């Protein structure tokens, strides 16, 4: 296997939302002679930011992650001008067919053995051409959260961000309020805010996000509190977030972004 190793070595991104599993994977990768640099990411958003700021030869990623699972993330990475080589590392074997279907070079089951990782790195080296001069790569990624996967009755459907008027925290889940109903997504609302704040969603309360384009007016409630009115109901606005919401609404109105069909 050493014959495939190039002078520069592989630059690898490891992704797993379980800290202990991520630490173990990074440790194994750093011990491999083919690997020059390892970056760890504990969630898909951090991974995407890392990819936008640097080039990687390979990505080793888990499948079961909240918000954007490994298969969906790998599909996004394949759309890059120079996609990294994909290796899945997971505790579940039922996704193997789908993983290879989107071009993964290997599928490792947890706990990962050093010998099995060596086989995967051998495949990565053949595919990645590590150490060759890197051509400038496009860092433009597709819109990663334009739709969210929702599990219901054993099926997965996708809720478009543009259909969501507001989101409401519900324990470890978020309720997405849309014209077609309320949908549950397993994700903390703070994470959803990170994903969607650049797309016109703003925090109005500890437990709420609202789409600026969905706000029809601001109202006072019976005790003097502030409410953001949408066609699907009123969203509470805390004093802490009231000023920012008003300023964001003003800027959006000036740009003509508050016109939304009913």
pLDDT in tens, 48-63: 889 888 889 999 999 8
Smallest CA-to-CA distance from 185 within 41, 71, 65, 44 is with 65
Domain endpoint, select from 128, 156, 172: 128
Quick check: 37 and 26 in contact, CB under 8 A? no
Reported as a pLDDT band with limits 50, 70 and 90, residue 8 is low
Split at pLDDT 50, 70, 90, the class of 144 is: low
Clarify whether residues 84 and 166 are in a common domain.
no
Domain that residue 193 falls in: 148-254
What's the pLDDT score for residue 23?
96
Whether residue 116 sits in one domain with residue 45: yes
The alpha carbon of 116 is separated from its chain's Cα centroid by a whole number of angstroms, namely 28
The pLDDT of residue 258 is 66
Same domain, 13 and 88: yes
Is there a single domain that holds both residue 109 and residue 174? no
pLDDT value, residue 10: 94
CA gap 149, 19 in Å, rounded: 24
pLDDT band at 158 (very low <50, low <70, confident <90, very high): confident
Q: Do the domain assignments include residue 118?
A: yes
Residue 238 above 80 pLDDT? yes
Check whether 93 has a pLDDT greater than 90: no
Q: Per residue in 229-241, is it b (16+ CB within 10 Å) or e — as a string?
A: ebeeeebbbeeeb
What domain count does the chain have?
2
Does any domain span residue 233?
yes
What's the Cα-to-Cα distance from 121 to each of 8, 219, 220, rounded to whole Å? 14, 59, 60
Confidence of residue 250 (pLDDT cuts 50, 70, 90): confident
DSSP assignment letter at 250: H
Residue at a domain's end among 79, 94, 128:
128
Q: Write the CATH number for 217.
A: 2.40.50.1020
Lowest mean pLDDT among 88-102, 175-189, 239-253: 88-102
Report the alpha-carbon distance of residue 70 to residue 114 in Å, rounded: 22
| Rounded CA separation 171/256 (Å) | 35
- 117 with 51, same domain: the answer is yes
135 belongs to a structural domain? no
| Whether residue 93 sits in one domain with residue 156 | no
Same domain (yes/no): 153, 226:
yes
Residue 238, CA distances (Å) to 28, 37, 118, 196, 209 in order: 47, 45, 53, 20, 12
Does the pLDDT of residue 231 top 50, yes or no? Answer: yes
Give the least confident one: 28-32, 170-174, 207-211, 228-232: 170-174
The answer on pLDDT for 255 being more than 50 is: yes
**Within-domain flag for 183:** yes
In a domain, 225, yes or no: yes
> Quick check: 117 and 29 in contact, CB under 8 A?
yes
**85 falls within a domain:** yes
């Amino acid at each position: 296997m050493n014959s495939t190793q190039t002078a520069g070595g592989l630059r690898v991104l490891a992704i797993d939302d379980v800290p202990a599993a991520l630490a173990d994977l990074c440790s194994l990768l750093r011990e491999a002679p083919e690997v020059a640099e390892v970056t760890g990411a504990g969630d898909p958003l951090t991974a995407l930011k890392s990819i936008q700021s640097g080039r990687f030869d390979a990505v080793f990623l888990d499948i079961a992650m909240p918000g954007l699972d490994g298969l969906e993330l790998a599909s996004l990475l394949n759309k890059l001008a120079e996609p990294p080589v994909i290796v899945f590392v997971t505790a579940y074997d039922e996704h193997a067919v789908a993983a290879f279907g989107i071009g993964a070079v290997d599928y490792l089951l947890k706990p990962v053995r050093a010998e099995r990782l060596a086989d995967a790195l051998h495949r990565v080296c053949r595919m990645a051409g590590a150490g060759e001069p890197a051509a400038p790569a496009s860092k433009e990624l597709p819109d990663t959260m334009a739709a969210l996967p929702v599990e219901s009755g054993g099926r997965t459907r996708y809720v478009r961000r543009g259909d969501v008027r507001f989101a409401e925290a519900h324990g470890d889940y978020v309720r997405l309020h849309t014209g077609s109903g309320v949908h549950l997504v397993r994700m903390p609302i703070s994470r959803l805010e990170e994903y969607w704040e650049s797309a016109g969603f703003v925090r109005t309360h500890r437990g709420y996000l609202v789409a600026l384009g969905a706000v029809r007016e601001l109202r006072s409630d019976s005790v003097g509190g502030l409410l953001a009115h949408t066609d699907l109901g009123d969203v509470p606005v805390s004093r802490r977030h009231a000023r920012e919401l008003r300023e964001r609404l003003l800027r959006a109105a000036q740009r003509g972004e508050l016109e939304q069909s009913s």
